[in-house]
Amino acid sequence: MSPDPALFSPPPTELRRTSLEQRLQALEPDLVGDPVGAVDTARALEEEARDLGALELLGAAQCLRAGALFYQTRYAEAREVYAQVLQLGQPGDPLHCASARARALGGLAGIYAALGENTESLTHYAESASLAQRCGDMGGWRRAMTNLGLMHLRFRDHSEALRIFEELAPVTRAAGAAAHASNVQAHLVMIYSDLGHHEHATHLAAAYLAEPEFRPFTLHLLSVQLFLARSRFALGDVGPARDLLGEVRARSDEGARRGQPAHELRLRLRQTEGEFAWQGGDLAGAERALTEALAQAQAHRLEAEESELHAQLAGVLEARGDLRAANRHLRRQVDLERDLHRTSTEHRVRLSQMQAQLSALEREMAHARYQADHDALTGLLGRAAFQREGERRLRAYPGEHGALLFLDLDGFKALNDRDGHAAGDHLLEQLAGRLRAQLGPEDLVARLAGDEFTVLLTPLPSPSDALAAAHRLRLTIREPFDLAALAARPALVTSSIGVVWARNGTLTVPQLLRQADRAMYGAKTRGKDTAVLHVAQASGEAPS
């Protein structure tokens, strides 16, 4: 029999959708590296998503465009685009385009944070995290936790920020989220440097700079180099630290000429240059650099940074003998610290509430995922979870062989008609327990629907092993089922089992299920209570 093309070739629309998803993912680094070009690319991807009628992908493309606008400090335009994404929701369907809407909420939170509107920022981050959790968007969840860490940094709670980023570091790497992993690692370098753990900051920075996958993220890279320079300077490695700072300055100026936004990076850069000048005895240069950094902090409403810069300028001016000017800066620092203490206390309470809310949602999401993945009656995997876990299991044993069994009970409908559905349900619960008892910890078993079950066994060396496993299950199913008070006598059922044995990776789980289903009907035509084996070829031929 000739191969069935439907087993191998996705429809053209699905191919276009997959291609679009890949290009959206590939655009992520350009939000930071080339935000101007990313805007035009995102617009083109939006049109393609509209043409496909793929609203979730349209929302993803719009979020990328808004993100690129954000990195150009075009906040009003970015806010308008994010608002369009939020309109993708539909009444009565709270999870419609939920992943894109969660990202839009997070984007709006970032705009509010950049404008100093911290209460609005926290509220939107909480809503973003909640929606991401409810729709199972773990990437959105990771973004929300990252932003939570950034808010802790804004309120100078370095220890809590460090805890969050340390937890995120292995998670983002395991997820293969390069942009997110780069962001987390860059902030870890910054935090350790700011906390005075300069040797560890240097070690982390060296590891970051050695990662080829982080090179496209220019702003993260410059941030790591900046804090590496600060830590080297603190460790007495003054010459290389100054050289590295010069490199960061040159690349930052180049980025500014290309319209690349990085106001916080440039602020810290000028601050660092001022600190280096102060330590080197160049008080005039230190005052100039720190004054420029102060102007940037005030322009972007970064009050914590402004307070620190007032203190540093007071020290420089005192060293220059300008006590009146030094006193003005100290008075302004005192006023800022008073305001920061009040708002920091308020926001820390809000952050604690938000974290408690997120923890509760995480527990709810885990429970919801379990319910979604498992059959409510038997506790076995459902179809979707079986296919997902089955694909993962096949990938875990490349080049090995495995078998998929499709089981259908014989006579189950008659039992239901005779003894009632409660008796049938009790039998299915017992059957699930028998199947589990016959299988190993690496084997997968699921209830597909009604009285249909499936089992995946891998690795399995030979077709005869696959058939022997099917017959063991068939014989255990033939044993009488005690239905207690639900039936007058023990119930007897048999099973027809279709078996497909194939090399892992030759066929997908849905293809294996279809072939095993056909083999199962072959068992039915042979009188039931038997198993039929099909050895799949690389071509994916259906059983004849």
> Which positions are annotated as active-site residues?
451
Cα–Cα separations (whole angstroms), residue 268 to 155, 229, 309: 17, 12, 10
Q: Which of 111, 135, 131 is nearest to 121 (CA)?
A: 111
Cis, peptide link before residue 459, omega less than 30° from 0: yes
Gap between the Cα atoms of 451 and 471, Å rounded: 18
Gap between the Cα atoms of 341 and 356, Å rounded: 22
Cβ burial of 258 (10 Å; 0-12, 13-18, 19+) is: exposed
Cα–Cα separations (whole angstroms), residue 36 to 31, 32, 42, 56: 8, 9, 10, 24
Contact between 393 and 503 under an 8 Å Cβ cutoff? The reply is no
Cβ burial of 14 (10 Å; 0-12, 13-18, 19+) is: exposed
Q: Which of 504, 507, 491, 494 is nearest to 541 (CA)?
A: 507
Residues 508-524, buried b or exposed e (16+ Cβ, 10 A)? Answer: bbebbbbbbbbbbebbe
Place of tokens 């719009």: 62
Contact between 32 and 67 under an 8 Å Cβ cutoff? The reply is no
**Residue 509, H or E segment:** helix 509-525
Contact between 152 and 339 under an 8 Å Cβ cutoff? The reply is no
